Chain A
Amino acid sequence: MARGFRLSSELIAGVVVGAGIGWGIDRLLSTSPFGFIVFFLLGFVAGVVNVVKSAGVVPRNRQ
Chain B
Amino acid sequence: MTIEPIHQFNIEKLFKIGQIGDHAIYFTNSSAFMFLTVAIISVLMIGGAAGRQLVPGRFQSMAEITYEFVASTLRSTAGTEGMKFFPLIFSLFMFICVSNLVGVIPYAFTISSHIIITAALALLVFFTVLIYGFYKNGLKFFRIFVPSGIPIFILPLVVFIEIFSFFLRPVSHSVRLFANMLAGHIALKVFAGFVALLGVSLGTVGWIGGVAPLALTIAIYALEILVAFLQAYVFAILTCIYRNDALHPGH
Contacts and interface: CB of A to CB of B under 8 A. Distances in A.
Contacts of B233: 2
A55 interface: no
For B171, B244, B245, which residue has the most chain A Cβ atoms within 10 angstroms? B171
Nearest to B170: A13
B148 A46 contact: no
Contacts, number: 66
Nearest to A16: B171
Nearest to A11: B172
A5 B251 CA distance: 25
A46 B176 contact: no
A50 B251 contact: no
A5 B175 CA distance: 11
Interface residues of B, number: 27
Task: Say whether chain B's binding surface is mostly helix, strand, loop, or mixed.
Answer: helix
B204 interface: no
A38 B251 CA distance: 27
B230 A46 contact: no
A9 B165 contact: no
B183 to A, nearest CB: 10
Given A9-B172, A46-B164, A50-B172, 13 more contacts: A10-B168, A13-B168, A16-B171, A17-B167, A18-B164, A42-B160, A43-B168, A45-B164, A46-B161, A50-B169, A54-B241, A60-B245, A63-B250
